[in-house]
Chains A and B, each alone.
Chain A
Amino acid sequence: MLHLQDITKVYRRRQEEVVAFKATSLDIGLGEYVAVVGPSGSGKTTLLSMLGGMLSPDTGKVWFGGESLYDLPINERTRRRREQIGFVFQTFNLVPYLTALENVQVPLFLHGVGKSEQRDRAVSLLEQVGLGNRIEHKPSELSTGQQQRVALARTLANNPRLILADEPTGNLDPDSREAVLSMFDNFVREGRTIVMVTHDPGAAARSSRRLCLNDGMLVTPHEIHTTKAA
């Protein structure tokens, strides 16, 4: 599903160059649950941004579903992201002045779904994540666990094939963390691909494959494949 070919991404600051990410080849297959681990500043978020079509590499190509993502015009790349990729953020990134329902409706509106269908699907998704009785609540009126569940419902709104998660359990209490990771297990069972950046060894252990990054390089010996029963 995803293939990275001869990728380098370099950040330049005050005549100083830092290799943020470098990989000659990396494949992520359909339905894989990949955890990306590594110390802060090792290039995890850079990798996630490049996989999401939001950060073009300096060299190489990112193939997504057989298309070179960064050879597409920006609007086409945006469309791929809108239709096929879902994001989960550490701090949830909910729009603070919108209700839970409206937050879930945002990707549907961006996709051009009609108003009544937007509402029906958003209500259904919020019920799926156990927030059917909180649809009119704003993020500030929800606990962090509930906010992450709203964010997950928003991620699922356009039924993405690929979910890119950046520290999805980083701000959660143990119960909420477990709830989110269970949902991720379900997503994989449904055939979706997940690439999750995490510092949480427990969360990484739930994945089917782990990629270890250090100074922007994939540390091959630490790449661990598990045949985890879903």
Chain B
Amino acid sequence: MLIFAVYIYSMKKEPIKNEITRKEALSRMGKYAALTAIGTFAILQPLKAQETSLPPGGTGDDTFPIDTP
């Protein structure tokens, strides 16, 4: 059985390289089944505006991660 290397981008935006079968590739990437089986691809969109990862201060948003170290 042919083995295809495919990059699947997780929700955490970390590339995870897996070796999966064509059948698995087709089921994972139904939208681009043919291309997924052929190679790797990713559309990357830059931010529309300059941003910081600073946590907002009392201004409404309350989501930011705590540094791990």
Q: Do A and B bind each other?
A: no
